[in-house]
Amino acid sequence: MIDLYTARTPNGRKIAIMLEECGLDYRSIMVDIGQGEQFSAAFNRVNPNAKIPAIVDHAGEGGPVTVFESGAILEYLAMKSGRFLPHGAQARAACMSWLFWQVANIGPMFGQANHFANVASEKLPYAIERYSGEAARLVALTDRELSTREYLAGEYSIADIATYPWMKVAFDGVVKARPEIAGKGTNIRRWLADIGARPAVARGMAMDIETA
C-alpha cells in the first residue's frame, strides 16, 4: 500500500495519474493546503519541505520508503512498476530531460504567471509581463516539439504524466493572454485530447481523496 499525501492541484494530480496508470495499490490523503496542514508536524515528518505531493510506500524495498518532490516520486514509481520510463540510454535520457524540464519550468512559470495575474492583491505589470511571457514561450516550445512526435519523449512516459495536469489547467489561459508568443497550440490540443482519453488519466484527474 502506498499513501499519497496530496491536494487537487496539478502536482497532486500527476502522482494520482501515475499510480492509476501503474495499477498500484494506494490511498490518497488530503492535505488541506488552504488551512496550512502542510506545515503540521505530522506532515513535515513525511516532507520536511512542507509541500505536496509526497508518498510513503509501505511495501518498499527493505521497508517503508518515503519520497517527496513530484519528479522524484514519478521516477520512483516508474522504477518500482517498470513502466513509463524507457530502457534504452537515449530514450531514457530524453524522458528524464523532459521530466526535469517540467518540474523546473512548466510548474514554476505557470504557477507564477497565475499568481501575479490572478491572485496577487497588488497588480505588478513587470511581474505579469515577465511570467506570462515565459509561460507563453514554454507553450510555444511544447507545441513545436509535439509537431515532430506523439509524446514529449517519443513514447508516453512520466514526462507526459508530469506535464499534462499543468498544461490541462493553464493552456487556454496562457494562449489567450499572450497569443503573439504562444501561438495556436494545435499540437498541444491533440496531445491533451490523446492523454485525456486514457481511463487512468481520467481517474487520476478526478482524485478519490480521503481525509487524514
The confidence score (pLDDT) of residue 211 equals: 40
208: pLDDT confidence band, cut at 50, 70 and 90?
Answer: low
In 3D space, the residue among 144, 112, 137 whose CA is nearest the CA of residue 127 turns out to be 112
Query: What's the rounded mean pLDDT across residues 14-18?
Result: 98
Percent of the chain with pLDDT over 90: 97
* CA–CA separation, 23 and 118 (whole Å): 37
Q: Nearest 5°: phi and psi at 184?
A: -85, -25
pLDDT surpasses 50 at 31: yes
| Structure letter (DSSP) for residue 207 | -
C-alpha cell at 97: 530531460
pLDDT surpasses 70 at 212: no
C-alpha cell at 40: 503540521
What is the helix (H) or strand (E) element at residue 26, kind and residue range? Answer: strand 26-30
Mean pLDDT of the chain: 96
Query: What's the rounded mean pLDDT across residues 25-38?
Result: 96
Query: What's the rounded mean pLDDT across residues 160-167?
Result: 98
CA distance from start to end of the chain: 16
Percent of the chain with pLDDT over 70: 98
| Structure letter (DSSP) for residue 39 | G
pLDDT surpasses 60 at 210: no
2-84+199-211 with 89-196: one CATH topology?
no
Residue type at 121? S
Strand 2-6 and strand 209-211: pairing? unpaired
* CA–CA separation, 187 and 40 (whole Å): 42
The confidence score (pLDDT) of residue 207 equals: 85
Measured in whole angstroms, the distance separating CA 184 from the mean position of its chain's CA atoms is 22
Is the domain spanning 2-84+199-211 CATH 3.40.30.10? The answer is yes
* CA–CA separation, 106 and 15 (whole Å): 16
Break the chain into its structural domains and give their ranges. 2-84+199-211, 89-196
C-alpha cell at 175: 494562449
In 3D space, the residue among 35, 66, 38 whose CA is nearest the CA of residue 52 turns out to be 38
CATH label, 89-196, candidates 2.40.10.10, 1.10.8.870, 1.10.3720.10, 1.20.1050.10: 1.20.1050.10
Query: What's the rounded mean pLDDT across residues 76-98?
Result: 97
The per-residue pLDDT for range 55-68, each reduced to its tens digit, is 999 999 999 999 99
The per-residue pLDDT for range 93-145, each reduced to its tens digit, is 999 999 999 999 999 999 999 999 999 999 999 999 999 999 999 999 999 99
